[in-house]
Amino acid sequence: MLATFLFPSITNAQTLIPFTFNNGGGYSNTLDWSIGESVSIAHFTSLGYSLNTGVLQPTTTITTSIEEYGPVVFGDKIIMGPNPTSKLLRIKASFNEVGLITFQMFNSKSNNVLNYDVGTIFSKYEKDLYLENLPAGIYYMRVSFKPSTGNAKTGIYKIIKL
């Protein structure tokens, strides 16, 4: 009865092309949703809730078996967007320590389509990657960060190329 009140059976919405359809999944008490897509690039976490603008980054291993999701590993230290993108992917990184960072992009068949070894960074780093030569599809960006002291971290981000 409560669900009928919160989610009416007739809904009207505006359709824009190109569009992104998000579907979420998970286990336990997990709920993913998206209210449109946004040109902003942000990830917010508060009181156990997580909000991503743009394409939802998966947080479970059910579909892809990937365990090192970027937002879980790096939080807001690495941000990528716009996502989905047709030409340009902007990467922003912000670390409080010196370290080596590399980017590798894989297509849905696990073929490596891009390698970018940045080298040593400290504090803020920004890079624009031009993807117009890649065909439309789903890609996965693996980011590796090795601080000068401490353990290396690897995070994977889902990128949609229109």
Domain ranges of the chain: 2-161
For residue 81, the model assigns a pLDDT of 87
* pLDDT tens for the 162 residues of the chain, in order: 555 555 555 555 555 454 444 444 444 444 544 444 444 445 556 666 555 556 656 555 544 556 667 878 898 899 998 888 889 999 999 999 999 999 999 998 989 999 999 999 988 999 999 999 999 999 999 999 999 999 999 998 989 998
- Which of the four CATH numbers 3.90.180.10, 2.60.40.2550, 3.40.50.720, 2.70.70.10 does domain 2-161 have? 2.60.40.2550
By the 8 A CB rule, do 103 and 70 touch?
Answer: no
CA separation for the pair 133, 143 (Å, rounded): 21
Burial class (CB in 10 A: 0-12, 13-18, 19+), 89: buried
Which of these, 35, 20, 14, lies nearest to 162 by C-alpha position? 20
Torsion of CA 35, 41, 45, 49, to 10 degrees: 20
